[in-house]
C-alpha cells in the first residue's frame, strides 16, 4: 500500500512541475523596457538630445561676445559730418562714450576692462584734478568778490584797507577762468576718440579669438 501512495505522490509532483515550467518560460520572454523609453514615458513621451537641451539653456558664443565687447560712440558730432577714425579731427576729439555690451561705462573702467591699468589710473587722476580745479575756481571767485565788496565798502569788512578793487577783480577773473576750464574738461575724456577706438578694437579682437568668434 505504501508503494502505491509513494507512486501517486511522485506522479502528482511531476505534474505540478510540468505545469509551472510554461509559466516561467513565459515570464522570461517578457520584453524589457530601456531606461530611455522609460524616461520618455515619464516626460510625456518626448525626449531631446543633450546637445539640443544645452543649447537651449546656455547663451550662444556670439551672445557672450556681444555682452563683453567694447564700443566707442562719439558725442556732439554733426550727422552731416561724421567723425572718421583716421582724421586729424578724430585724433583731437575728446567727447565720446564707452559701452560694454549695452551698458555705459566710465573712461577709467573702459581702460581697466581693456587691460590698460596704467592709463586707467591716469584717467582717474585727470578727472580728479578737473573736480579740484572747478572747486578751487569757485573758491577764488568768491574770494575776489569779497575783496571787491570790501574795497567798495570803505571801513567795513575784513578788507576795508584795500586801496582799490583791482585785486578783487583779478581774483574774480581767475576764479571764473578756473571754474569754466574745470567744467569744460569734466565733459571731456582724457584720451581722444582715435586712441579709445583703437584700444576697443584690440580688445574685441582678443575677445573674439578667445571665444572663437570672428570679429
- Identify which has the larger pLDDT, 196 or 17: 196
59 domain residue, yes or no: no
User: What whole-number distance in Å separates Cα of residue 174 and Cα of residue 76?
Assistant: 28
41 domain residue, yes or no: no
Judge contact between 190 and 122, C-beta under 8 A.
yes
186 domain residue, yes or no: yes
104 domain residue, yes or no: yes
35 domain residue, yes or no: no
pLDDT at residue 30, as a whole number: 41
Q: What is the pTM of this model?
A: 0.59
User: What whole-number distance in Å separates Cα of residue 124 and Cα of residue 130?
Assistant: 10
And the C-alpha cell for 22?
510554461
215 confidence band (pLDDT: 50, 70, 90) = low
Write the pLDDT tens digit of every residue in 138-175: 887 787 777 777 766 554 555 445 555 677 777 777 87
103 domain residue, yes or no: yes
CA dist 183 → 20, 191, 192 (Å): 101, 17, 18
pLDDT of residue 9 exceeding 80: no
- Number of structural domains found in the chain: 1
32 domain residue, yes or no: no
148 domain residue, yes or no: yes
Domain range enclosing 146: 69-211
Amino acid at each position: 500500500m505504501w508503494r502505491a501512495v509513494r507512486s501517486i505522490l511522485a506522479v502528482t509532483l511531476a505534474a505540478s512541475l510540468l505545469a509551472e515550467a510554461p509559466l516561467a518560460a513565459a515570464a522570461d520572454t517578457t520584453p524589457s523596457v530601456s531606461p530611455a523609453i522609460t524616461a520618455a514615458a515619464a516626460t510625456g513621451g518626448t525626449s531631446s538630445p543633450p546637445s539640443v537641451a544645452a543649447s537651449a539653456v546656455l547663451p550662444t558664443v556670439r551672445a557672450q561676445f556681444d555682452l563683453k565687447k567694447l564700443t566707442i560712440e562719439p558725442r556732439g558730432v554733426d550727422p552731416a559730418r561724421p567723425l572718421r577714425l583716421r582724421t586729424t579731427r578724430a585724433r583731437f576729439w575728446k567727447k565720446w562714450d564707452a559701452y560694454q555690451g549695452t551698458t555705459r561705462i566710465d573712461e577709467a573702467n573702459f581702460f581697466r576692462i581693456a587691460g590698460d591699468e596704467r592709463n586707467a589710473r591716469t584717467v582717474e587722476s585727470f578727472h580728479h584734478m578737473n573736480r579740484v580745479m572747478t572747486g578751487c575756481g569757485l573758491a577764488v571767485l568768491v574770494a575776489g568778490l569779497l575783496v571787491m565788496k570790501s574795497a567798495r565798502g570803505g571801513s567795513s569788512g575784513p578788507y576795508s584797507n584795500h586801496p582799490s578793487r583791482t585785486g578783487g577783480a583779478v581774483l574774480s577773473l581767475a576764479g571764473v577762468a578756473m571754474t569754466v576750464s574745470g567744467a569744460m574738461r569734466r565733459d571731456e575724456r582724457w584720451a581722444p576718440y582715435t586712441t579709445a577706438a583703437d584700444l576697443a578694437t584690440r580688445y574685441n579682437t582678443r575677445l573674439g579669438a578667445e571665444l572663437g568668434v570672428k570679429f
